[in-house]
Structure 1
Amino acid sequence: MWFKHLHLYRLHDAPELDAATLEEALAEQAARPLGGQDPRRLGWTFPGGRADTARLHELQGQRLLSALRQERLLPAGVVKEEVDERAAEVEAREGRKLRRQEKLTLKEQVVEELLPRAFVRSQRVDLWWDTRRRLIGINASSRTRAEEVLDLLRETLGSLKVTPLATQTLPMRAMTQWLTDPASRPADLVLGDQVELKAKGDDGVLRARQVDLDSDEIQQLLESGRQASKLAVEIEGRLSFVLHDDLALKTLRFGDALIDEANAADDGDDALLRLETDFVLMAQALGENIERLIAWLGGEAGTASDA
């Protein structure tokens, strides 16, 4: 259940929906098997897997939804090989070279024939909706996947005004400051051992892992004008992650105390109760620590604190 990545969004004028109404709306956009000619499909599935009967789990103002993304895998190389073979047969039979448009038509035919036989890759993408904080967090490795799930939620609800979470201080500026000036670091912030430094010109990106971020080598790179676009940090004893310059949190790891609390909970070997227990603990930890992170970054952009 524990999220690995998190893309964060601010809800504006969030729709007032009770759990039953939302569950009904999710069912209308439920995941269904791919049709023979469907290259991909996205729909809502059960967060708890086959044993689950609800597409929405809501506890203490925290909502858990799961989208199922299905995609047929048809490698471009396979298509090209088949197109080339068929084109060669036609050219040999008719004694002429096929025109570009004819090859494109041939490619469309090949894709249409091979697609129903292609393997299907399925991926579940979990969504956390904090109704009290008006936050949405999506457990996806890329912003593109997160946006796909947001589009599905928007379609499901009819409308959804949501924007990527943004802060007064740009993450890149704050991360660079934390690296160059230890005194600027919040009291409960601990640097990790991973960083990505971008140059202002065309010198590319430097990535370093398992390094001392306070070392002279890192400081020299910063003095040359490089800025931190990714930085491994830990909110002491609570949560660790790699902060990205777009405010995405990657490689999330939760504190031992929280994991121990989850393991100690009595779920009676009920898988769905275990899911909900883990989810509530995770959601509470994420909500509290995201608020702490926003404060470190000067507060949220576009709020009254701008004045």
Structure 2
Amino acid sequence: MWFKHLHLYRIHEQQLLSPEQMAVVLDEHRAKPLGNSDARRIGWAAPAGRLGGGHLLHEIQGHRLISALRQERLLPASVVKEEVDEQVAEIEASEGRKVTRKEKTALKEQVTENLLPRAFVRSQKIDLWWDTERQLIGVNTSSRSRAEDVLDLLRETLGSLKVTSLSTQTLPIRAMTTWLDDTASRPTDLQLGDNVELKAKGDDGVVRARQVDLDSDEMQQLLESGRQARKLALSIEGQLSFILHDDLALKSIRFGDALIEEADHADDGDDALARLETDFILMAGSLRTNVERLVEWLGGETQREPTA
């Protein structure tokens, strides 16, 4: 249940459906198996799987948990190309002529259509946390495009959804570089990890460092050369550790030991569904608190024009 990654979005002027209404509209877009001719499909799935009785929504203390199931057929381009090349060779040998580009395009489409039903299907469940009181959405995926896919599904489900990527007055790349360069600039409860990615202003490439002392002389020399931090490992007062990216995404999230122990000692009666909901509300509370602190350290939130 514990999120590994987080892409954050601010919701604007959204009418909040009741849990009952939300369950109905989610069910109208429930995930279905891929058809033979479908390359990909996305729909809502039960966050708790079969253990949750098929419920698509869990809401606790103003926090909502929903899950999208993204299905995609894996058909490597090399496989299609090999089949097309074989058919082109057969045509040219039997008819004694060159196959035109237009014919090759048509062959590629036909080969793709014929091979799709036999292709393997990859399924990915992507969880979404919706803080209805703060009007904040967090999507648990490492990919920004996958997060946008889930938001598109939510927009289709609700009829409209005005959201913007969460943004701050101080750009993350500037704040991370300052925190690296000047120890006095770091918030009291913020600690540096041992992972960083530095980008030069010009074309000198990227420096990636893991398991290193970020306060070392070597690191200072890189910063003095004009490099800026695009990614930086951070932790907040033992509550949360993560790698902050320059687009404000949080990746490789790890929750503090105290929070995990609290979840482990919760009285859920060995009920898997109760365990999921316990983990979720503890996680959501931690994310709410620490995202707000991070935004504050980055100078507060900026207001951006939403899109429907």
> Which aligned pairs between 1:28-177 and structure 2 lie closer than 5 A?
28-52=28-52, 53-177=54-178
Tell me what 2:252 maps to: 251
Tell me what 1:14 maps to: 14
Once the two structures are TM-superposed, the CA of residue 51 in structure 1 deviates from its matched residue by 1.9
Q: Number of residue pairs matched?
A: 303
For residue 153 of structure 2, give the secondary structure of its aligned residue in structure 1: helix
1:239/1:252 contact within 8 Å kept: yes
Tell me what 2:282 maps to: 281
Mapped partners of 1:240, 1:260: distance in 2: 16
Mapped partners of 2:177, 2:249: distance in 1: 16
1:197/1:229 contact within 8 Å kept: yes
Tell me what 2:238 maps to: 237
Once the two structures are TM-superposed, the CA of residue 20 in structure 1 deviates from its matched residue by 0.5
**Partner amino acid, structure 2, of 1:232:** A
**Partner amino acid, structure 2, of 1:78:** V
Q: Deviations over 1:278-304 (max 9, x none)?
A: 00000000000000000100010129x
For residue 163 of structure 1, give the secondary structure of its aligned residue in structure 2: strand
* RMSD over aligned Cα atoms: 0.7
1:15/1:160 contact within 8 Å kept: no
With structure 1 as the length reference, what TM-score do the two structures score?
Answer: 0.98
For residue 234 of structure 1, give the secondary structure of its aligned residue in structure 2: strand
1:192/1:231 contact within 8 Å kept: yes
1:41/1:70 contact within 8 Å kept: yes
Tell me what 1:207 maps to: 208
**Partner amino acid, structure 2, of 1:104:** T
> Which aligned runs of 4 or more in structure 1 are off by greater than 6 angstroms?
none
Once the two structures are TM-superposed, the CA of residue 15 in structure 1 deviates from its matched residue by 1.6
1:5/1:140 contact within 8 Å kept: yes
Mapped partners of 2:96, 2:50: distance in 1: 57
Q: Deviations over 1:199-243 (max 9, x none)?
A: 000001110000000000000000000000000000011000000
1:7/1:146 contact within 8 Å kept: yes
Mapped partners of 2:51, 2:119: distance in 1: 28
Q: Deviations over 1:35-94 (max 9, x none)?
A: 010000000000001222210000000000000000000011110000000110111110
> Which aligned pairs between 1:282-301 and structure 2 lie closer than 5 A?
282-301=283-302
Tell me what 1:4 maps to: 4
With structure 2 as the length reference, what TM-score do the two structures score?
Answer: 0.98
Mapped partners of 1:233, 1:33: distance in 2: 40
1:41/1:71 contact within 8 Å kept: yes
Once the two structures are TM-superposed, the CA of residue 269 in structure 1 deviates from its matched residue by 1.1
Mapped partners of 2:250, 2:16: distance in 1: 28
For residue 184 of structure 2, give the secondary structure of its aligned residue in structure 1: helix
Tell me what 2:23 maps to: 23
Mapped partners of 1:67, 1:254: distance in 2: 23
Q: Which runs of 5+ in 1 are unaligned?
A: none
Mapped partners of 2:261, 2:122: distance in 1: 34
